């Protein structure tokens, strides 16, 4: 992997006065490389036009670029372009599955299996569907080291379960799901399985065909791309059978006041003028991580996690959470120091972490803490960021002492 920080590829990694910013919050949103910023700027500037509608040359060119972006993003996860729907993000992608596939297929007496570590975005949409359909929700516990307990899942799953929806990588603990086994368990009882790939696509090589899942969702902004866009990948047969969940332009075949017929998937699920520049940026980000090498990114972040956990483990007041082998994320607490106070003091040291419940309040209850501090790495981080984090923690302990 190239030394992207040394190449100044990420302009956001400097403070306004030019100092180095130790950014350790990539699990929330990643900084953007120049190639993504430039791609979005071109799309909003000299290349800009609408897509799918104009008969003039620039609109035709932008339409080709937009659909090429779909191919690029789909290829990142080993999918085909006709299987990939652009959404506003992973949250909307999960809601799309819930409101389309879920409403069409779930009935009273059916069950959904989630896990204790899920992000709110993989909990609340299913609760809304529970109110509409009468489906029941079960929660799979975690192992002692913070993995989704697939042995427990195997015991819990029954033919009544119609959907399993698990995170590929926990946004709090960095724990990685054994997706092939989870898929086998779900399919073994006739259930479909959705994988939340928000934290995995920027950190791990992903191949949906090899994983065998039915639905896979992810967002651009955690992948070094722009905000406001994400994607749903779904098996073509499932996507083709799903009804639209929003109505408007672009997703129709023919409209009369008597009836409307729908465009085929994926256009059926993309009502209105799409996020054109964002899709171009999404594709630029996908190309960028592929150029860097996702296996190399994972190895780099794994080494940083090991270094960080070793350094933090030497501080008596620190309690480390989650498995030692995590994907780019380290969560911890400090005895006598609220994570919000730690985050504020670290900010004075030009160190940015996330402090709070991380949109995973049920997990916080399970861990027995109100909040955690979270350091999450990107391909631009190195050991100097960890050293700055440790210095900031030591200063915080002196203040609170």
53 Cβ contact list (under 8 Å, min separation 6): 59
CB-based contact 389:24 (threshold 8 Å): yes
| Residue with tokens 């119609």, as numbered in its chain | 162
One of 140, 198, 213, 359 is an active-site residue; which one? 359
Q: Which helix (H) or strand (E) holds 105?
A: helix 103-105
Cα separation, 111 vs 189, whole angstroms: 12
227 Cβ contact list (under 8 Å, min separation 6): 29, 89, 220, 221, 278
φ, ψ at 318 (rounded to 5°): -90, 135
Question: Is 140 part of the annotated catalytic residue set?
Answer: no
Cα separation, 73 vs 84, whole angstroms: 8
The helix, strand and coil proportions of the chain, stated in percent and rounded to the nearest 5, come to: 45, 20, 40
Chain centre to alpha carbon of residue 388: 27
Q: Which residues are catalytic?
A: 359
């Amino acid at each position: 992997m190239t030394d992207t920080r040394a190449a100044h590829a990420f302009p956001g990694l400097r403070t306004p006065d030019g100092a180095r910013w130790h950014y350790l919050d990539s699990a929330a949103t990643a900084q953007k490389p120049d190639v993504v910023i430039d791609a979005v700027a071109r799309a909003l500037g000299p290349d800009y036009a609408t897509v799918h509608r104009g008969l003039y040359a620039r609109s035709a060119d932008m339409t080709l670029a937009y659909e090429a972006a779909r191919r690029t993003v789909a290829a990142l996860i080993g999918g085909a372009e006709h299987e990939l729907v652009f959404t506003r993000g992973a949250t909307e992608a999960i809601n799309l599955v819930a409101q389309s596939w879920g409403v069409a297929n779930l009935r009273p007496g059916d069950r959904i299996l989630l896990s204790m570590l899920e992000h709110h975005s993989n909990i609340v949409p299913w609760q809304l569907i529970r109110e509409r359909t009468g489906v029941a929700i079960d929660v799979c516990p975690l192992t002692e080291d913070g993995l989704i307990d697939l042995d427990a899942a195997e015991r819990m799953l029954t033919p009544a379960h119609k959907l399993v929806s698990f995170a590929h990588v926990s946004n709090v603990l960095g724990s990685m799901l054994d997706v092939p086994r989870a898929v086998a368990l779900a399919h073994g009882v006739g259930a479909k399985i959705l994988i939340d790939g928000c934290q995995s696509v920027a950190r791990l090589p992903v191949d949906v065909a090899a994983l065998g899942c039915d639905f896979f969702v992810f967002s651009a902004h955690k992948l070094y791309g722009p905000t406001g866009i994400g994607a749903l990948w779904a098996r073509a047969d499932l996507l083709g059978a799903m009804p639209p969940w929003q109505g408007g332009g672009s997703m129709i075949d023919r409209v009369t006041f008597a009836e409307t017929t729908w465009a085929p998937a994926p256009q059926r699920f993309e009502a209105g003028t799409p996020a054109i520049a964002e899709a171009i940026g999404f594709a630029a980000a996908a190309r960028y991580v592929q150029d860097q090498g996702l296996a190399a990114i994972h190895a780099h972040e794994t080494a940083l996690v090991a270094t960080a956990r070793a350094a933090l483990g030497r501080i008596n007041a620190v309690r480390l959470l989650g498995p030692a082998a995590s994907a780019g994320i380290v969560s911890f607490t400090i005895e006598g120091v609220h994570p919000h106070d730690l985050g504020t003091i670290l900010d004075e040291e030009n160190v940015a972490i996330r402090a709070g419940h991380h949109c995973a309040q049920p997990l916080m209850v399970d861990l027995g803490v109100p909040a955690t501090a979270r350091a999450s790495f990107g391909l631009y981080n190195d050991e100097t960021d960890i050293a700055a984090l440790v210095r900031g923690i030591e200063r915080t302990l002196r203040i609170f002492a």
